[in-house]
Structure 1
């Protein structure tokens, strides 16, 4: 039986039966009562707790925060597929306000723990009773130099609802409603962007022009939103004393400044790979000049539409070829309504996997339009999903990983799907098409994300030094940071100046984007280890996923023989990319011309 992708909607009943489920209010009430009891027991006493008492307090706090997270997760997930429903939006606000107020009751705990002197904290963390929470407590203390007083922290938490999070919601709801005029059709963001992957060049050009026109119409709003988020972050960084706009993100990612600088430097030094590949692509497409709207064009004669069932079987086959357990977990997502797949009105664009809470399971959102890239996106998000599912055993505080290593499982899932497809394809022309698609996705993950990091750096720096930035100024910064990636291989048109404005990561998680490059290059190194070690690698990799965030990325990855502290580590992944470009060049020579 063929599955209609429009029937692939997630079932959130494992969280709550609906927005009117009385259990939502009951969980919030119970969390509030426990927060009050927790505060009465421990406020002002954290510094004097013995190790066993501290362990008991952390366990209570973990249970409380997991219960509080459940209604928040539910309404966030519901809102992503019903952004145009005012009742859902109102409930989202009510739950966020209540959760913030309850969270403020227990905010004192982390502040008092951060205030414990280093010698006593180190002594406590050697006690066996705190072994399960050691990493959580250690990472909490790394923010010690930047903490404010409890009243100040509570004010910032309360104001968050009407500052950055409010602007993010406005951005999301704007794009969910936005329609782009292309050849007489009104298309959503996902639909218009998918046309950039069509074989016909005029279709791509028209899609890019329609997308640009839609962005330009919204540019006053989007520029204001971006400026406000930049300013909000600048104010908070100043209040906390962060020395750099990226300091907070690096702390969250458990990545040293030196590690991130080495990553960015190594990637920008290899922009030549991007130009080399796109010169090859121009030849394959029979074009003298590639424009920005040509970047994702499929090679002639290699494009096809993929059904949802085909995508499902590709991903499950790829995962199963690596590990039967990985396939078994992924199958649950399809069988039990943990995926939301179609492009529909009111649904947020993009894709993600949300871990929900450890007592439930992750949920995956994609916007499936039937392109080969959508198969890779599905593999990517289910890689996250398998990771999050396995890491649940670590508990609420230790399940989540930093963004840097969170991308490892997703990119590994993509590599499995890619190699699976290449192994099944016997036609050299089609294999070249698959390889080019994969290279373009990898370039988008490594080089484009680092180029976007360079734009973020320029924008945050300029906002702090120059004040409010115009759309023209932001467009100039965008072009200045994107052109070096392509060199002379791709012409970035004037229309492309507005394309900074649709990228949600700049708003939702400032500084996020380098984590994609981190994860991609780390995964390429891991995948090389898999090729070398074969079946012996599989259980060690699955153990890495199951470890979640229970230790630092360096320690966890170190168990697989990789050293993230080595500045030259990133060259391993870049060398793989170089070899894949050479592989494409050899395939292109054997296939010959694809046009005419």
Structure 2
């Protein structure tokens, strides 16, 4: 049904924006070939169900491993069918046909998952410790951490009938709520009003959120403020429905995770899924909270550079130069710059990125009803990842391109791993993406004047704030919001007040925050899609600062170590994998090193500004 498309020679600098080609996954979702493909999945599920009696304590290791391989075959085929449906839907969220296919594929995957649950539950809950240890030690190395992690999850697993009910209700429960959130917010239209002179008022309408949000980096203070006001006015107007969706997601997360599965806290559900210890995440968040003053110092310096007494929250991402903010990059030139950056680091990294373009797995154009933002999606290890962009030619779009292709490279480096262990856990999943951005920025800076370096350095620190401190405070908000909703039935207005207090702590007295920013939380899709996801960005960015320093010190000998970390995918526990490179992420002191480097960059910026 799928396979790697043929590669053709390309002039990357001449590339134009366009849509991706999904035909390598499914040629015609209404055709007989796709129907036969789905039938083959059903047949494999039936065969696997028939092997249930094989699951006895003394099952031979080879037979157990064979069953894992059979499961992987089923999951890969389900991933292809479901991946196609979701990618098609993200390309046009207004398509009822695409939406219906997503529902159909999600339902099929949930039903298949229910029928296959017995294997997972047997290994996690029914098998005794001695035989579990025997099977783990007999398994190939690549599966051992995966199997150990399954045993760790055992105490949070329910009975087979209960797990079946949860899987079934996911499609029409939380999954449906998230789908409604996406469908609503993708269809939002925004009206931005700007004053021109004393009396004239100009109104601009946007049917694509990305176009509007790009203006928060405008050189015009009035335009930045108007863009934010338009954005949050629309979300506030819909806060009754969007807020209730969030409340229900939080209640469901708590009911299942704590009441039914016995996790210690709501965030523990995510931590254990990430194969991270609670103490590691606690150390990360404590370090971030302790270092909010680092970015507060930067905001005061940025206010000075902009010539204002104090930054407003509207001005957080303001460019330091009007000229630079207006610069546009042709898509092909941006692609070529990113590829050249990757090639300088290592030829293999460039070759992997080129493969994504040559197989037409990139959707880069902005269009109505297309999902906003950017992402990289890996359907299966054997299939080149798909990258969604909304490329508008801004400097940020070039960085985003490098970021998402970092994800793709990470995935392709792990493509020889089985599907069960190929995906890195969330905290490590941001490592390659952020590292790729740093490589790009370093390359750009080498060819710049002092003033241009100052501007880019400020943009880098803006990004560090956005991907470290902002994400950590998102997570701290989620901790408080889940507690307030779960324990006190907090109203939507009370959750908004919690978010407002979160902003006050984060910025201290360095930034003036207007009341409408209290509604920002309903605009953050990660809170809905993947609760407690956001600390992965903080983790990944602070980790990369340390890895990048190693690269600068060691040079080319560092590259194989770095690629080795990426190639491990999800086959190793993060604490153990990183400890081999001398990184102890369980200690607050480790995370402090990252903030020390941020502080150094702020001092560099001050030094450039004083020359």
The interval holding the TM-score normalised by the smaller chain is over 0.9
What CA distance in whole angstroms lies between the structure 2 residues aligned with 1:589 and 1:47? Answer: 72
What residue is the counterpart of 1:541 in the other structure? Answer: 562
What CA distance in whole angstroms lies between the structure 2 residues aligned with 1:10 and 1:322? Answer: 27
Q: Structure 2-normalised TM-score?
A: 0.93
Displacement of 1:497 in angstroms is 1.1
What residue is the counterpart of 1:377 in the other structure? Answer: 400
Displacement of 1:5 in angstroms is 7.9
What residue is the counterpart of 1:593 in the other structure? Answer: none
Which segment drifts farther, 273-282 or 562-571? 562-571
Once the two structures are superposed, what CA deviation does each residue of 1:125-176 show, in whole Å capped at 9, x if it has no partner?
Answer: 222x443321221111111111111011000000000111111111111121
For the 8 Å contact 2:13–2:333, the answer to whether it is kept is no
Once the two structures are superposed, what CA deviation does each residue of 1:522-553 show, in whole Å capped at 9, x if it has no partner?
Answer: 11111111011100011221222222112111
What residue is the counterpart of 1:14 in the other structure? Answer: 24
Instruction: Name the Cα RMSD after superposition.
Output: 1.6
What CA distance in whole angstroms lies between the structure 2 residues aligned with 1:268 and 1:213? Answer: 30
Match of 1:324 among 340, 347, 352: 347
CA gap of 1:438–1:43, structure 2 versus 1, over 3 A, is farther
For the 8 Å contact 1:192–1:207, the answer to whether it is kept is yes
Displacement of 1:514 in angstroms is 0.6
For the 8 Å contact 1:8–1:337, the answer to whether it is kept is no
Q: What does residue range 341-356 of structure 1 map to in structure 2 within 5 Å?
A: 341-356=364-379
Secondary structure, counterpart of 1:305 in structure 2: coil
For the 8 Å contact 1:6–1:342, the answer to whether it is kept is no
Secondary structure, counterpart of 2:393 in structure 1: coil
Match of 2:469 among 427, 447, 450: 447
1:255 aligns with 2:266: no
What residue is the counterpart of 1:185 in the other structure? Answer: 204
What residue is the counterpart of 2:197 in the other structure? Answer: none
What CA distance in whole angstroms lies between the structure 1 residues aligned with 2:584 and 2:111? Answer: 42
CA gap of 1:108–1:295, structure 2 versus 1, over 3 A, is same
What CA distance in whole angstroms lies between the structure 2 residues aligned with 1:382 and 1:461? Answer: 36
What CA distance in whole angstroms lies between the structure 1 residues aligned with 2:587 and 2:519? Answer: 38
What residue is the counterpart of 1:588 in the other structure? Answer: 609
Displacement of 1:478 in angstroms is 0.6
What CA distance in whole angstroms lies between the structure 1 residues aligned with 2:191 and 2:111? Answer: 43
What residue is the counterpart of 1:368 in the other structure? Answer: 391
What residue is the counterpart of 1:402 in the other structure? Answer: 425
1:477 aligns with 2:498: yes
Secondary structure, counterpart of 2:93 in structure 1: coil
What CA distance in whole angstroms lies between the structure 1 residues aligned with 2:523 and 2:38? Answer: 35
Once the two structures are superposed, what CA deviation does each residue of 1:172-222 show, in whole Å capped at 9, x if it has no partner?
Answer: 111211111013222121111100101011111111111121111111111
For the 8 Å contact 2:546–2:593, the answer to whether it is kept is yes
1:121 aligns with 2:132: yes
What CA distance in whole angstroms lies between the structure 2 residues aligned with 1:185 and 1:81? Answer: 25
Displacement of 1:280 in angstroms is 0.6
What CA distance in whole angstroms lies between the structure 1 residues aligned with 2:16 and 2:245? Answer: 33
Which segment drifts farther, 380-389 or 293-302? 293-302
What residue is the counterpart of 1:133 in the other structure? Answer: 143
What CA distance in whole angstroms lies between the structure 1 residues aligned with 2:33 and 2:302? Answer: 56
Displacement of 1:6 in angstroms is 6.8
What residue is the counterpart of 2:116 in the other structure? Answer: 106
Structure 1: segments with no counterpart, 5+ residues? 591-596
For the 8 Å contact 1:475–1:500, the answer to whether it is kept is yes
Once the two structures are superposed, what CA deviation does each residue of 1:323-358 show, in whole Å capped at 9, x if it has no partner?
Answer: 111011111222221111122111111111111112
Displacement of 1:2 in angstroms is 9.8
For the 8 Å contact 2:14–2:333, the answer to whether it is kept is no
What residue is the counterpart of 2:306 in the other structure? Answer: 285
What residue is the counterpart of 1:466 in the other structure? Answer: 488
CA gap of 1:25–1:47, structure 2 versus 1, over 3 A, is farther
What CA distance in whole angstroms lies between the structure 1 residues aligned with 2:547 and 2:230? Answer: 41
Displacement of 1:366 in angstroms is 1.4
What CA distance in whole angstroms lies between the structure 2 residues aligned with 1:7 and 1:442? Answer: 28
Match of 2:35 among 25, 30, 42: 25
Q: What does residue range 411-422 of structure 1 map to in structure 2 within 5 Å?
A: 411-422=434-445
Secondary structure, counterpart of 1:254 in structure 2: coil
1:230 aligns with 2:240: no
Secondary structure, counterpart of 1:364 in structure 2: strand
Displacement of 1:29 in angstroms is 1.5
What CA distance in whole angstroms lies between the structure 1 residues aligned with 2:261 and 2:18? Answer: 45
Secondary structure, counterpart of 2:205 in structure 1: strand
Q: Structure 1-normalised TM-score?
A: 0.96
What residue is the counterpart of 1:434 in the other structure? Answer: 456
For the 8 Å contact 2:17–2:331, the answer to whether it is kept is no
1:456 aligns with 2:456: no
What residue is the counterpart of 1:594 in the other structure? Answer: none
Which segment drifts farther, 148-157 or 307-316? 307-316
For the 8 Å contact 1:405–1:553, the answer to whether it is kept is yes
For the 8 Å contact 1:47–1:113, the answer to whether it is kept is no
Match of 2:535 among 490, 493, 514: 514
What residue is the counterpart of 1:142 in the other structure? Answer: 152
CA gap of 1:178–1:244, structure 2 versus 1, over 3 A, is same
What CA distance in whole angstroms lies between the structure 2 residues aligned with 1:142 and 1:273? Answer: 37
CA gap of 1:43–1:441, structure 2 versus 1, over 3 A, is farther
Displacement of 1:557 in angstroms is 2.1
For the 8 Å contact 1:405–1:519, the answer to whether it is kept is yes
Structure 1 runs, 4 residues or longer, greater than 6 Å off: 1-6
For the 8 Å contact 2:12–2:335, the answer to whether it is kept is no
Displacement of 1:50 in angstroms is 2.1
For the 8 Å contact 1:46–1:112, the answer to whether it is kept is no
Number of positions where the alignment pairs a residue of Structure 1 with one of Structure 2: 587
Secondary structure, counterpart of 1:47 in structure 2: coil
Displacement of 1:305 in angstroms is 1.8
Structure 2: segments with no counterpart, 5+ residues? 1-10, 194-202
Secondary structure, counterpart of 2:379 in structure 1: coil
For the 8 Å contact 1:452–1:513, the answer to whether it is kept is yes
What CA distance in whole angstroms lies between the structure 1 residues aligned with 2:574 and 2:492? Answer: 38
What CA distance in whole angstroms lies between the structure 2 residues aligned with 1:430 and 1:251? Answer: 44
Secondary structure, counterpart of 2:421 in structure 1: helix
What residue is the counterpart of 1:84 in the other structure? Answer: 94
